[in-house]
Structure 1
Amino acid sequence: MTFELKYTDRSYLPDQFKAISGNPPVEWKVTNNLVEYPEALRYMQERVENILAQNAHEQVWLLEHPSLYTAGTSAKKKDLLTPHLFPVYEAGRGGEFTYHGPGQRIAYIMLDLKRRRQDIRAFISALEEWIIQMLAKFNIKGERREDRVGVWVQRHSCQSTQNSLFSEDKIAAIGIRVRKWVSFHGVSINVDPNLAHYSGIVPCGITNHGVTSFLDLGLPTKMHDIDIALKQSFEQIFGPIIDIS
């Protein structure tokens, strides 16, 4: 099943989303070369089937893609503003259009929720909390919003309005699919991608908020340091990992 989460209460979050006792550590895989999207999609689909068959452990896969757009199950054709700018792939995940490219850390999350908690809203909240805790290690205040999924950064607006002196920009997107309670797809975090590449789409169908990155916030950061922070925060919420890179 795909899962679309909008306009619902996600203010509650379990203190832990760790697996039942005796569950093996989550495999932690990092690929440094750019990975083509169809290759990543095939890998995730095969991994999910193997997890369901109890032939593989849970896994988090960190990688980067070449520049491309993906369309979620709710994507609207009108939101693809420049159709031939980059390749466009049907992702099969929840959500709408998003951009992936160099300088963006992708984390594909293949977890068996039957071993954790069969609650998709709690899982989305846990993913958001993971990113929020990671950002805090760099003194970035990430926030969730009840009417839209992802992690947001509030900043002083250069073009203030009567309603607000602040703008809200997305720094991390979340889009998942769940098959028989095993998750795949995951999160994307803007470290230092070319933000102009978002101009070819309406990101996640949201027109009144922008996108940002570590670099855009004045914090140039190495991907290796992002990965360390992601690993530390992941263990706090989801439990132990084992590095297989």
Structure 2
Amino acid sequence: MTQTSGDQQGDHQDLLLVRHLTDPSYETCWHAMQGFTNNRDIDTPDECWLVEHSPVFTLGQAGKPEHILIRKDVPIVQTDRGGQVTYHGPGQLMMYWLVDIKRRGVGVRDFVSIMEQSVIELLLRFNIEAHLKDGAPGVYVNGAKISALGLRVRRGRTYHGLALNVDMDLTPFEWINPCGYAGLETCNMRQLTDLPLKMPLIESQLLEIFAQRLSYDTVKQVS
């Protein structure tokens, strides 16, 4: 796998384009993902969007307002991803995967597993041993959730993705039942490793792992 930048072209089936979003608004990003997915065609390369959102609670399609226990001055957005309620904020890496899984020959459950296993492999590089929970998507460390997943699939194409808690204020998770589970603890990488945590390094390593698991030949940074 090679990483490139600039205007180099690659076969759309083997190319993953990576964008760093400059607008931290969740709703702006969400609607842009919908537009991208609605307008893409068989020749559109897959993309990964990276961002740290401004503080926001999001409710998935199964989300119930009663899982928001304390209403603070944090926006609440009802969205179209799967899952229940979660929190996004600074210090949390958002990786949005806009992937034609039909073209790549990957089912939805396998794609979710690829995301989970990619996070687990990344965490091992920082000496953090993570695990899965039966019936509860996401990645956990000693029972505490460190990475949440949520997807929407339309005509064999995904949007939304995963959130990885890197070095963030976890207090807002105490105001909700994270992912619909009362009393579910959350954690972040900062609590669990003494190794330096630089967001660009975490991004590049997780991208590398994911791209290898989905057999992309080229990862291209674009603006």
State the alpha-carbon separation in 2 of the partners of residues 217 and 93 from structure 1.
29
- Letter of the 1:147 partner, please give it: G
Which residue is 2:18 aligned to? 28
Mapped contact 2:127–2:193 kept (Cα < 8 A): no
The two structures have a TM-score, normalised by structure 2, of 0.88
State the alpha-carbon separation in 2 of the partners of residues 140 and 218 from structure 1.
7
- Letter of the 2:133 partner, please give it: R
1:47 equivalent among 36, 40, 43 = 36
Whether 1:136 and 2:124 are equivalent positions in the alignment is yes
CA drift at 1:239: 2.5
CA drift at 1:56: 2.9
CA drift at 1:193: 1.1
Runs of 4+ in 1 over 2 A off after TM superposition: 53-56
State the alpha-carbon separation in 1 of the partners of residues 141 and 30 from structure 2.
29
Whether 1:90 and 2:78 are equivalent positions in the alignment is yes
Mapped contact 1:47–1:56 kept (Cα < 8 A): no
State the alpha-carbon separation in 2 of the partners of residues 37 and 22 from structure 1.
27
Whether 1:237 and 2:213 are equivalent positions in the alignment is yes
Point out where structure 1 has 5 or more consecutive residues left out of the alignment.
1-20, 155-167
State the alpha-carbon separation in 1 of the partners of residues 76 and 43 from structure 2.
32
Whether 1:174 and 2:149 are equivalent positions in the alignment is yes
State the alpha-carbon separation in 1 of the partners of residues 79 and 120 from structure 2.
25
The two structures have a TM-score, normalised by structure 1, of 0.81
- Letter of the 2:37 partner, please give it: V
Mapped contact 1:58–1:110 kept (Cα < 8 A): yes
CA RMSD of aligned residues (A): 1.7
CA drift at 1:227: 0.9
State the alpha-carbon separation in 1 of the partners of residues 89 and 130 from structure 2.
22
Whether 1:190 and 2:165 are equivalent positions in the alignment is yes
Which residue is 1:164 aligned to? none
CA drift at 1:55: 5.9
How many percent identity over aligned positions?
31
CA drift at 1:92: 0.7
